[in-house]
Amino acid sequence: MTTYKKNITVIIFYFLSLNIFGQKLNDFYTSFSERMVMHTLNFDENGIVRIGSIRRHMSPFHEVFGTYEKRNDSIYIKLYKINFIDLPKAKNFGLESFSELSLTLYQNNSELIDLKNRTVYVTSRKLNRKRIKRKSISFINGKKYIYEIPVFDGYGLISRMPHKNKRFDKALAEVLKNPNEYKTNVIRGLSAYQKFGLIGINGISIITKN
């Protein structure tokens, strides 16, 4: 691929991967959703749950709080009302919709599933596994490609460039010759997880000719 095509590819994968892997290994969940803002989920041993914005190095951070109760394989969450003082900050981080919200999460292996909001929560331990952290899936004209994506650090900078996949690079190069002749659809969140498992969590791009 030419340098120009490589740059386009990196930019596309940057936006697919943004905010996901700049986290330190810790005991929390990250959300992957079709419509809700990306956030983290953290439970403590005293029945308190914290939903927070994605942490970035040297950047502001905000959390909302609530209580949770675990029954069998389900977790029931009731979030507190966000007071008028904290509401502007919550809005800045896209967390205002969690005010007085009730969530029901179902456990599937180590993941937590929110069926109503089409969201899957994945532990940071799973997200930092090489196969999940570095791999993604694309379909180009019906053919499936598993390829590596860039890894980003806490500053949003690329810390590891992907290894080449010659078959994928060749197929993508054909698309980039005449990009207006193709349409792209990206499957995210629970739909991607249900179809492809954790490797689909970075988003599945489906590129087809018009």
pLDDT in tens, 130-167: 777 678 899 999 999 988 877 666 666 666 777 788 89
Distance between alpha carbon 35 and the CA centroid of its chain, in Å? 11
Does the pLDDT of residue 97 top 90, yes or no? yes
More confident residue, 142 or 129: 142
> Is the separation of the CB atoms in 156 and 18 below 8 Å?
yes
**Is 1.10.12 the CATH number for 29-127?**
no
| pTM, entire model | 0.77
- Locate CATH 2.40.128 in the chain: 29-127
Rounded distance, CA 44 to CA 158, Å? 32
Residue found by looking up tokens 């943004």 in the block:
18
